[in-house]
């Protein structure tokens, strides 16, 4: 995977990564000039959490894997974890019997969900899988990310696309949020073959991804405000809400919207007019594969892409 490949000791990896991020002086601990470790020492975390140093060392080394709820809460306070990270720490501390992984199958998006997305022509909507690849998008969702090499994969778009830093004016924040969202989405299932492929490739090709992945940030993809610099309609400031698809565990429905009456709302309306797709059916909503010819020649500035074969979703 390129980073923290020991999936047998996820709890220890997480504790160590978060311990190394804390500065002693921020916690009222006097930092002398003889410190040879990044962040806090193990004994300092143990003292802050009210556990023995030996017990904490066993947790980091993987010799103790299932601390009590009380110990987990104490460690979360000592490491100053945010809400999503606390929930993740609790999951790591739970006994998880190894289960046989089912054969990989192509993920599909419900036709009912596709119909609902098609009924929102003025709202960009995408469906993501656990690794933040785009499984489906309505016409405006397609137009929002069109024109990029990795338009069908939001993680690779951020870290590998040559235009990413121009497309995302707040690229540093988007990069950190994306990696945190990827970690939150996959949870403790770090030996998932798709994830291994994604993290392995990005760890080799992007030093920034490699550094952010090692931080073990956990940021559940729920809602956020994000700025875009779209190649067709210019600056956009959009809010998004991410909703879980209960009928397909692991899938997320991400809905973008602009403030009413704002320049971004006007720009979205303009982008929607370029798609010329107000009457889109569910079939037309299906994700477009790069390189497929359009059934009709689109307008010169239209970002619309032709529909893929139904089996692609």
- Strands laid side by side in the 234-244 sheet: 134-137, 125-128, 252-257, 234-244, 223-230
pLDDT of residue 29: 74
pLDDT of residue 305: 40
Q: Please give the structure tokens belonging to residue 206.
A: 């992007």
Decide the pairing of beta strands 252-257 and 234-244.
Answer: antiparallel
Lowest mean pLDDT: which of 5-14, 98-107, 162-171? 98-107
101 falls in which pLDDT band (50, 70, 90)?
low
pLDDT of residue 142: 94
Question: Cα 95 from chain centroid?
Answer: 25
Lowest mean pLDDT: which of 127-141, 241-255, 268-282? 268-282
Domain ranges of the chain: 7-93, 111-312
pLDDT at 258 over 90: yes
27 falls in which pLDDT band (50, 70, 90)?
confident
Percent of the chain exceeding pLDDT 70 equals 81
288 falls in which pLDDT band (50, 70, 90)?
very low
Query: In angstroms, rounded to a whole number, what is the distance separating the alpha carbons of residues 283 and 269?
Result: 22
Q: Please give the structure tokens belonging to residue 219.
A: 């940021």
CA angle at residue 263 from 258 to 269, to 5 degrees? Answer: 65
pLDDT of residue 192: 81
292 falls in which pLDDT band (50, 70, 90)?
very low
49, 27 in Cβ contact below 8 A?
no
In the predicted model, what is the mean pLDDT of the chain? 82
Longest dimension (CA), the chain: 70
Mean pLDDT throughout 291-311?
37
Mean pLDDT throughout 278-305?
38
What residues form DSSP beta bridges with 224?
240
pLDDT at 37 over 50: yes
184 falls in which pLDDT band (50, 70, 90)?
confident
Architecture of domain 7-93: Orthogonal Bundle (1.10)
Q: Please give the structure tokens belonging to residue 146.
A: 């069109």
Query: In angstroms, rounded to a whole number, what is the distance separating the alpha carbons of residues 41 and 229?
Result: 43
Pick the CATH number of 111-312 from 3.40.50.720, 3.30.450.180, 3.30.450.40, 3.40.50.620: 3.30.450.180
Beta strands in the chain (DSSP E): 125-128, 134-137, 223-230, 234-244, 252-257
What residues form DSSP beta bridges with 225?
239
pLDDT of residue 308: 39
What is residue 187's DSSP assignment?
T
pLDDT of residue 299: 33
pLDDT at 295 over 70: no
Mean pLDDT throughout 276-290?
43
Exposed, middle or buried by CB within 10 Å (0-12, 13-18, 19+), for 15? Answer: buried
200, 2 in Cβ contact below 8 A?
yes
pLDDT of residue 105: 66
């Amino acid at each position: 995977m390129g980073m923290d490949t020991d999936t047998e000791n996820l709890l220890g990896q997480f504790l160590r990564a978060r311990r190394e991020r804390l500065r002693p002086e921020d916690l009222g601990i006097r930092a002398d000039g003889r410190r040879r470790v990044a962040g806090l020492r193990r004994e300092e975390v143990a003292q802050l959490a009210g556990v023995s140093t030996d017990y904490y060392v066993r947790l980091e080394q993987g010799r103790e894997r299932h601390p009590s709820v009380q110990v987990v809460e104490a460690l979360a306070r000592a490491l100053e974890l945010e809400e999503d990270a606390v929930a993740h720490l609790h999951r790591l501390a739970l006994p998880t019997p190894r289960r046989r992984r089912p054969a990989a199958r192509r993920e599909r998006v419900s036709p009912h969900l596709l119909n609902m997305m098609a009924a929102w022509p003025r709202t960009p909507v995408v469906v993501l899988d656990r690794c933040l690849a785009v499984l489906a998008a309505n016409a405006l969702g397609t137009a929002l990310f069109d024109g990029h090499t990795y338009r069908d994969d939001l993680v690779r778009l951020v870290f590998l696309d040559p235009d990413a830093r121009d497309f995302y004016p707040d690229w540093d924040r988007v990069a950190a949020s994306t990696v945190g969202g990827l970690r939150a989405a996959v949870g403790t299932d770090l030996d998932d073959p798709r994830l291994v492929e994604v993290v392995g490739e990005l760890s080799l090709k992007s030093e920034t991804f490699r550094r952010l992945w090692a931080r073990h940030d956990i940021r559940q993809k729920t809602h956020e405000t994000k700025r875009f610099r779209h190649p067709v309609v210019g600056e956009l400031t959009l809010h998004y809400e991410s909703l879980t698809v209960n009928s397909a565990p692991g899938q997320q429905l991400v809905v973008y919207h602009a403030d009413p009456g704002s320049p971004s709302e006007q720009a979205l309306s303009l982008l929607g007019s370029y798609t010329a797709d107000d009457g889109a059916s569910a079939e037309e909503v299906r994700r477009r594969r790069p390189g497929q010819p359009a059934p009709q020649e689109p307008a010169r500035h239209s970002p619309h892409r032709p529909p893929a074969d139904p089996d692609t979703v």
